[in-house]
Structures are given as C-alpha cells and as structure tokens.
Amino acid sequence: MRTLDVDLGERSYPIHIGAGLLRQPELWRPHIRGHQALVVTSSVVAPLYLDTVMAGLEGLQADSVVLPDGEAHKTLEQLSTLFDHLLERRHNRTTTLLALGGGVVGDMTGFAAAAYQRGVAFIQLPTTLLAQVDSSVGGKTAVNHALGKNMIGAFHQPRCVVADTDTLSTLPPREFAAGLAEVIKYGLIGDAAFYDWIEAHCKALSDQRPEVVAEAIERSCHNKAIVVASDEREAGRRAVLNLGHTFGHAIETDTGYGEWLHGEAVATGMLMALDLSARMGWLAAAEVARLRRLLEAFGLPVRAPEHMTAERFLERMALDKKVVDGQLRLVLLQGIGEAVLTTEAPLDLVRATIAAHRAPA
C-alpha cells in the first residue's frame, strides 16, 4: 500500500492506494466520527462492492442508496434523493457519507455532505481510474446544469481517500482509457519527467499492469496534492488542473452529458489547448504532435464533434467557471510541465484551433 497526504493543516487527510483496500475497513472506518453512515453508490458499482463496504460498517447505523449510473444523472434532482434518504433515516450532524463509485458518485456525495445540515463528513472510495487520480482528491464537488458542467457545487474536503486498485479490473476499457487522460494532464501541467514516464510505459499502462498503474495513480495524486495544498479554493495556481477542461466541458455540455466520457472530452480539450499554445508561439508544434500520438496510442479521441462550430464552442466556453468579467481565461502551456492561466489568447487563434480540431462529418 502507498499512502500520501493532502496537507491542509487541521483538515489534512490521507490517500491510500493499493490492492484489496475495500476489504480493509481499518483504513477508512476510523474517519467515521459518529454512529451513522450512508454509503452512496451507483447501479453498476453496487452489485460489485457494496456488500464489502457494508460489512466494514458493522455495528453502526449503516444505510445505503443506489443512484442511476452515468453523467446524465449528475443532477439536482438526483441529489435530492440523497437528502431524502438522510432525512427519512434521521441522520444527524455526526453522520458520515461514503462515496463508493466513480467521479459522478464522488461529486454528488461530496456536495450532499457539504450541504446536509450545513456540512457533514464524507469519505471517498473511488472505483474508476479517473476518480482515483483526480476527482476524489481536492474537495471539488458539484452537479451539472443544462447550461454548464459542474456549475452548482461546493468545496468540501473528504476525511480520507481509499483507492482500491482491484476495482479497476472490472472497469470497461473505454473508461480506463478516459482515466489516462487525467494522468497525462499531470505531466503536461507540472511534471515533465512524469510525462516522459507515461510515454515510456504506454504499453504497460494500456495492458493495465498493476504495479505500473499503481505508480501512475500515486504520481498523479502526488502532483494534485501539491497543487491543492497551495491553493485549495482555486484562487490562482489550482486553475492549471483544468488544462483542456474549458474546451472539454464545452464538448460535454453541447453533446449531452454522457455521450462523451469526461476523460475523452479532456483528451481532445488538452490537444486543443496545446495547439492554441503553439499558435501563440509558446510551444513547439512538435509537442502538439507528440501529445496526439500519445492520446491515439491510448485510444482517446483527438477531434471535437463536427457539428461544433467556433460559435457553438465559444458560446459554451463563455459559461466556463474560469470566465471572469466576460474574459475567457484558458490554461495553456509555455512548455511541457509549464502551465499558465491566461486571458491573452487572441480570439482568431482560438477559432483557428477549433476549426482545426473538428471531426469530419
């Protein structure tokens, strides 16, 4: 088992990474501060792991709720069902919510925990690669709105994160690949050596060699923990974690949540961000081609939907959370491992990037 810490003073918490950790309640049960717990999971994950987690809660008032699976259900309506369960079963301020599933479950559980009785504890038990390397760490919680992704939410840190790598064996190949997009992101924004490592271990990652995947998770979490500790509420530096997300969220919102997986949209969005960086003279064109080869090797998309014109992209991007006073702020690169948040991208170059990355009809 590998253990990292997110350093947030008195709200610091551990990230445990390893095989079989859901069967080790001694890792997460000490973080349950009262005698009540609610496990939140999805219809896909529940048959696989819910019984294991519930067994680790023996002796508590342990309840569970199973949500429909998928990004399309990351809504205020589904969030309300969590509050219904908590209230109907009389959970009080000392209850703890456990998020057992991927990023959708984690985001919704965290948001419910942030809001219920003005804030209760929660624990992340991520079961997808994307959740283990990204969404379970850092305390960003939210639901989607028809006009924008993750626009309604709160910052609320978990008490601990337990990433059981055994759960990845049941992950469909497409979802595993989508998680690799977020792994690549950490190399691009601040760890050039890790980016080199990902390229060197491309085949082993695709083959899901356990020791290589565990290393990728640990290095990703290490990179994210450093950024979160320096800027918990995204007042500045933390925004670089959104490389590719402004373009990617536009794709997800426009196509309807769920048609593109989040990691797939981020993959295309990162390539567009690097292309724009090159058009601005900040990055060598060879680095754009290098990323394209890596994404294609993992089977990730490198073109946006054909129907998404520049006007359509810009309309969606105008609702991005990084837009301030009408100014579009983008995360771009001035070199591999050198991400910056900028308002300097000329609109004509943004349009050129969009045009160059639309898929043929």
pLDDT at 359 (0 to 100): 77
List the 13-18 sheet strands across, edge first. Answer: 2-6, 13-18, 161-164, 121-126, 96-101, 36-42, 61-67
In 3D space, the residue among 259, 293, 270 whose CA is nearest the CA of residue 174 turns out to be 259
| Of residues 129, 108, 107, the one with CA closest to residue 178 | 129
Q: At what angle do helices 262-279 and 285-297 cross, to 10 degrees?
A: 160
Average pLDDT, the chain: 96
Structure tokens at 359: 């898929």
Mean predicted confidence (pLDDT) in 99-116 = 98
Domains and their CATH numbers in the chain: 2-170 (3.40.50.1970), 173-356 (1.20.1090.10)
How high is the pLDDT of residue 274?
Answer: 98
User: Mind telling me the catalytic residues?
Assistant: 118, 140, 182, 224, 234, 238, 242, 245, 249, 262
Q: What letter does residue 301 receive in the DSSP assignment?
A: -
* Across 70-74, 112-116, 321-325, least confident range: 321-325
Arithmetic mean of pLDDT, 150-177: 96
Is the pLDDT at 327 greater than 90, yes or no? Answer: no
Q: Is the pLDDT of residue 361 over 80?
A: no
**pLDDT band, residue 347 (cuts 50/70/90):** very high
pLDDT in tens, 215-244: 999 999 999 999 999 999 988 889 999 999
pLDDT of residue 94: 97
Distance CA 262, CA 244 (A): 11
Tokens for 276, please give them: 């724009």
Give yes or no for residue 7 having a pLDDT over 80: yes
| % pLDDT > 90, the chain | 93
For residue 361, the tally of other CB atoms under 10 A from its CB is: 6
Say if CB 129 and CB 140 are below 8 A apart: no
